[in-house]
Amino acid sequence: MIKLYQLEKRIINKFLYLFGKGNTFVIYSPQRSFSNFFRQLIEMNLFINYEQGKKNLNYYKHNPKVKLDINLKKNFIIFILYKEFNLWYESIKRNPADFFLKLDNFKIKPMTIKDKKKLKKYHKNFYDFWILNALKTKNIEFINFREVLNDDNNRFLLNYLKKKYNLMSNSIFKIPTTVRFSKTINKKRILKFPITKDTQFKKINNLIKQRRDLLI
């Protein structure tokens, strides 16, 4: 069901498009990688459309085989939401959502939570594709999960996006209080969870630092 703030934003965004000031964003991440929280954070604070891929699977947020075509490169802000593997694995172990059910849609062989090596490869391949393309596509924005655990960080992110992409924003900063599939975000538990600083983690953080300050 559409929420009131989403309806209000859609009406205003239509007017912005008439004046050539409309923008659209897409999100890509594996399931259980804070995509619902991040979408709400953006929609609550910035005037920008969200393309969720109902009519085109290429824009579906959990698509592991995106075709990065000219339209996607030129007409969208592309957010890649990164959650390091160990944190992600714990998340899908607690609640996989529709992760295992959707694999067949992308011709990926069935897996279970016990297939940790296969899941690690899936996770690595998902982000390696975007790491490779971020080097030559300026509108790809990586967000590290640990960055959005702090309200001040979220303010910084929103201001950065507002300035870079010339977006309009609400006068009052808002944080999502309820998120689909997650009753609450246990920030203390996550912050205590050891960071796995593997090669991929370092590459993504370096890409972030080429565009803005890294907030962890």
pLDDT tens-digit map of 125-140 = 999 999 999 988 999 9
| pLDDT in the model for residue 36 | 93
**C-alpha to C-alpha distance for 50 and 77, rounded to whole angstroms:** 10
| pLDDT in the model for residue 177 | 80
- Band of residue 45 on the pLDDT scale cut at 50, 70, 90: very high
Token representation of residue 162 = 């507002």
pLDDT tens-digit map of 54-107 = 999 999 999 999 999 999 999 999 999 999 999 999 999 999 999 999 999 999
Q: Where are the domains of the chain?
A: 4-211
> Percentage of the chain with pLDDT > 70?
87
pLDDT at 15 over 60: no
Stronger pLDDT, 188 or 168, i.e. the higher one: 168
| pLDDT in the model for residue 182 | 61
Mean pLDDT of 16-42: 85
- Band of residue 42 on the pLDDT scale cut at 50, 70, 90: very high
**C-alpha to C-alpha distance for 203 and 47, rounded to whole angstroms:** 30
State how far Cα 95 lies from the chain centre.
Answer: 18
| pLDDT in the model for residue 156 | 96
| pLDDT in the model for residue 181 | 56
pLDDT at 190 over 90: no
**Conformation bin of residue 17: beta by default, left when phi > 0, alpha when psi is -120 to 50:** alpha
| pLDDT in the model for residue 180 | 64
**C-alpha to C-alpha distance for 106 and 54, rounded to whole angstroms:** 15
How does the average pLDDT of the chain come out, rounded? Answer: 89
pLDDT tens-digit map of 2-12 = 566 566 666 66
- Band of residue 184 on the pLDDT scale cut at 50, 70, 90: low
- Band of residue 203 on the pLDDT scale cut at 50, 70, 90: very high
| pLDDT in the model for residue 10 | 62
| pLDDT in the model for residue 59 | 97
